[in-house]
Chains A and B, each alone.
Chain A
Amino acid sequence: MGNSSGAVALRGEQSFLSKHQKGFVIITFMVIPMALLFLFTYLPFFKMIQFSFYNRNYLSEGTWVGLKNYIDVFKRDDCFKTLLVSVYYMGGAVVQLVLALFFATLMVFKVKGSNLYKACLFFPYLICGIAVGFIFKFFYAHGYVLDNILMALGVAEENIPLWLQDTRINNIALVATSVWRYTGQNMVMFMGAMMSVDSTLYEACALDGANNWQKFRYIILPSIKTIIVLNLILAISGSLCAFEPPYVITNGTMGTGTYFVIMNRIAHENQKVGLACAMAIVLLVIIILCTVGQKLFFKYAYQTSDDGSDPRPRLKNERYAAKKAGKAGV
């Protein structure tokens, strides 16, 4: 199995006592985490599947309706179609990754005051979500911050749209808040990955007279491509699950309701628990498909990858490969 080298290495000590002790350790160390996993993930998950076949609210038992909830998910205007809003978030995620990569690259080369820029860009990540919501409600409110900035830059007042009400741009305005919040965090992640590149590589190519673009193209990019691809794929499921910006800032009004905002409303305000569960299951299936796609992608695209920085120790063979590559995971 290759994954429990500990047990193999300890074979010399396999006395009767230590065998029992081993079992005891396994059980005591696992019982609570497993109980929590069951109670808060798998039990709710199976209940969710069960509820999705019923027409019920929180307290009543409800009636069996078969697949009606699932049919409703696809038929109702306010359910499945809201996944289209996620396209904005996917776009935002791509912009965010590109910006993060750009700034990270700039800062990997020597820059004066890089700590200050890094701090400024990263700090929004540490502001709590509700506060971010208020900051941007104020920022976008008609006649307040953004409007004033634009007017100071010479934009005529009548050309300034209502950022959060105009259905042509309100989703973009919301996505911008999450780009604002997470770009710095992605940047710090990328910088971490770039720093772990062997510094002699930079020196070598500096000696060869490579310019900055060449350094980026031939050294930085190849060594962090795994993490970039992973982030892109995570961005897809992240966009499908987008929740906080519309929930906090617009409460999902004016066409800004993402799938989860609507699901939340159906579950907690309309008390249609069955329908909400069906929505959750449908989304989960989509996410699983994306993840399987991701795995296949990694399997075929990176089978021969030798950088060993595969970000997730998911399966035995991958972990084994990572171990063989012998890279300390920092």
Chain B
Amino acid sequence: MGSKLKASTPGAIAFGILKYVCLIGASIIAILPVLVCVFTAFKTNEEYQVTSPLDLPASFGYLTNFKEAWSKASMFTGFRNTAVVLVFVLILSIFFSATLAYVLNRFRFAGNGTIRNLFMFASLIPGIATQVTVYQIMYNLGLINHLYGYVIVLCGTDIISIYIFLQFFENLPVSLDESGIIDGCTYFGVFFKILFPLLKPAIVTSCVLKGVSIYNEYYMSNLYLTKDYLKTISTALYAFVGPYGSQYNYICAGVIITIIPALIIFLLCQDHIYSGMAAGAVKG
């Protein structure tokens, strides 16, 4: 009788409580390591040495660590270079993947299947494995220590976006192309005027996936951008390894500085990021 009213049985109540305990507990665990860094970043040297990392700082107005971190690790350079790389790689790789997917999906020609298979096989080769020889190629082409070289190599190893766009084209009806052709569009016109604007969800997905991976990229930027003025945010932050050793109040300040832009973007486009992630899942 009572079972029709939800949450009235003891079991349902227990489940309700347990649910919140789990979720709140997990959220705390997820946030705690970052939160501790925030606390530490606001502590003076002296305070850092005497207080426990779990203690709140005396004041959240102490910004010396941030200033120090910002200037010592050349964070500005890092942000600037990462932003430049991000913009160019996203634009180029979205454009190339979309055009390639269009051709592979809409045209029948000899080698279509082979090309798909080539890309599929390429996605199996772990990126780090080939860097040993990619380095040589980059060296021979004179692409090392140039931002454009780094942009090119990031575009060249982009296979996820191609999959996303291929999948998306599957679901765009061909009648769109037909009506465009009948109205006198060229194939270029069909692609740029009719199909490209419709690709927005796929563009969001690949921006999210690609954007996160570029922002996180350390290995290749460390290999191919060795000059100080070419540091990306990851390599700039890595500079803390040497001089500060275990001066974690400076290091934490640096970490927080790199987190802030990600946090802002996350708060602004939360929904896009989630839907991009979820769509990326279905598409591999």
Same complex for A and B? Answer yes
Residues of A that sit less than 8 Å from B by CB: 1, 3-10, 13, 18, 21-22, 25-26, 29-30, 32-34, 36-37, 39-45, 47-48, 51, 58, 99, 102-103, 106-107, 109, 111-112, 114-131, 134-136, 138-139, 141, 144-145, 148-149, 152, 180, 183-185, 188-193, 195-196, 209, 212, 227, 230, 237, 241, 243-244, 247-248, 260, 263-264, 267, 273, 276-277, 280, 283-284, 287-288, 291, 309, 311-314, 316, 319, 322-323, 328-330
Give chain A residues whose Cβ lies under 8 Å from the Cβ of B100: 29-30, 33
- Point out which of A13, A111, A127, A190 has the most chain B C-beta atoms below 10 A from its C-beta: A127
Interface size (B, Cβ < 8 Å)? 111
Are A311 and B30 in touch, CB under 8 angstroms? Answer: no
B63 within 8 A of A: no
Are A25 and B188 in touch, CB under 8 angstroms? Answer: yes
B198 within 8 A of A: no
Give chain A residues whose Cβ lies under 8 Å from the Cβ of B105: 3-4, 6
**In the docked arrangement, what's the CA distance between A7 and B17, Å?**
58
**In the docked arrangement, what's the CA distance between A136 and B248, Å?**
11
**In the docked arrangement, what's the CA distance between A49 and B280, Å?**
32
Are A3 and B108 in touch, CB under 8 angstroms? Answer: yes
Residues of B that sit less than 8 Å from A by CB: 3, 15, 19-20, 22-24, 26-31, 33-34, 36-37, 40, 52-54, 96-97, 99-100, 102-103, 105-109, 112-113, 115-116, 118-120, 122, 124-126, 128-137, 152-153, 155-157, 162-163, 166-168, 170-171, 174-175, 177-178, 181-182, 186-188, 191, 201, 212, 215-216, 218-219, 233-235, 237-238, 240, 246, 248, 251-252, 254-255, 258-259, 262-263, 265-266, 270, 273-275, 277-284
Are A227 and B281 in touch, CB under 8 angstroms? Answer: yes
Give chain A residues whose Cβ lies under 8 Å from the Cβ of B152: 36
Given the known interface contacts A44-B137, A288-B124, the answer about A134 and B283 at a Cβ–Cβ threshold of 8 Å is no
B52 CB to nearest chain A CB (Å): 5
Give chain A residues whose Cβ lies under 8 Å from the Cβ of B174: 5-6, 9
Given the known interface contacts A4-B106, A138-B36, A188-B274, the answer about A45 and B246 at a Cβ–Cβ threshold of 8 Å is no
**In the docked arrangement, what's the CA distance between A83 and B96, Å?**
36
Are A311 and B275 in touch, CB under 8 angstroms? Answer: no
Given the known interface contacts A6-B174, A10-B178, A144-B248, the answer about A121 and B26 at a Cβ–Cβ threshold of 8 Å is yes
Are A44 and B281 in touch, CB under 8 angstroms? Answer: no
A127 CB to nearest chain B CB (Å): 6
Are A32 and B96 in touch, CB under 8 angstroms? Answer: yes
Given the known interface contacts A4-B107, A40-B137, A127-B262, the answer about A195 and B237 at a Cβ–Cβ threshold of 8 Å is no
Known contacts A135-B33, A192-B281, A287-B126; 6 additional CB pairs below 8 A are A41-B125, A106-B19, A131-B258, A139-B36, A322-B170, A329-B170
Are B282 and A329 in touch, CB under 8 angstroms? Answer: yes
Given the known interface contacts A4-B107, A37-B119, A134-B251, the answer about A313 and B167 at a Cβ–Cβ threshold of 8 Å is yes
Q: Can you list 18 pairs linking A and B with CB atoms under 8 Å apart?
A: A10-B178, A33-B100, A37-B156, A44-B134, A58-B136, A106-B23, A120-B28, A121-B27, A127-B259, A135-B37, A141-B246, A230-B284, A243-B128, A267-B132, A283-B129, A287-B126, A312-B283, A313-B163
Contact of A189 among B22, B34, B97, B281 (CB under 8 A): B281
Are B3 and A193 in touch, CB under 8 angstroms? Answer: no
Are A44 and B282 in touch, CB under 8 angstroms? Answer: no
Are B97 and A3 in touch, CB under 8 angstroms? Answer: no
Contact of B171 among A37, A134, A329 (CB under 8 A): A329
Contact of B31 among A32, A43, A44, A120 (CB under 8 A): A120
Contact of A107 among B23, B54, B136 (CB under 8 A): B23
B99 CB to nearest chain A CB (Å): 4
Are B107 and A7 in touch, CB under 8 angstroms? Answer: yes
Give chain B residues whose Cβ lies under 8 Å from the Cβ of A191: 274, 278
Contact of B126 among A9, A135, A180, A284 (CB under 8 A): A284
B153 CB to nearest chain A CB (Å): 6
Are A26 and B109 in touch, CB under 8 angstroms? Answer: yes
Contact of B102 among A29, A106, A127, A128 (CB under 8 A): A29
Give chain B residues whose Cβ lies under 8 Å from the Cβ of A241: 126, 128
Given the known interface contacts A32-B96, A123-B30, A263-B129, the answer about A7 and B103 at a Cβ–Cβ threshold of 8 Å is no
**In the docked arrangement, what's the CA distance between A314 and B181, Å?**
29
Given the known interface contacts A26-B103, A30-B103, A40-B153, the answer about A260 and B170 at a Cβ–Cβ threshold of 8 Å is no
Are B283 and A41 in touch, CB under 8 angstroms? Answer: no
Contact of B96 among A8, A36, A102, A120 (CB under 8 A): A36
Give chain A residues whose Cβ lies under 8 Å from the Cβ of B218: 128-130, 244, 248
Closest to A185 in B: B277
B132 CB to nearest chain A CB (Å): 5
Give chain A residues whose Cβ lies under 8 Å from the Cβ of B29: 180
Are A135 and B26 in touch, CB under 8 angstroms? Answer: no
Are B30 and A276 in touch, CB under 8 angstroms? Answer: no
Are B106 and A6 in touch, CB under 8 angstroms? Answer: yes
Closest to B113 in A: A316
Contact of B99 among A29, A148, A263 (CB under 8 A): A29
Are B36 and A314 in touch, CB under 8 angstroms? Answer: no
B140 CB to nearest chain A CB (Å): 10
**In the docked arrangement, what's the CA distance between A140 and B218, Å?**
22
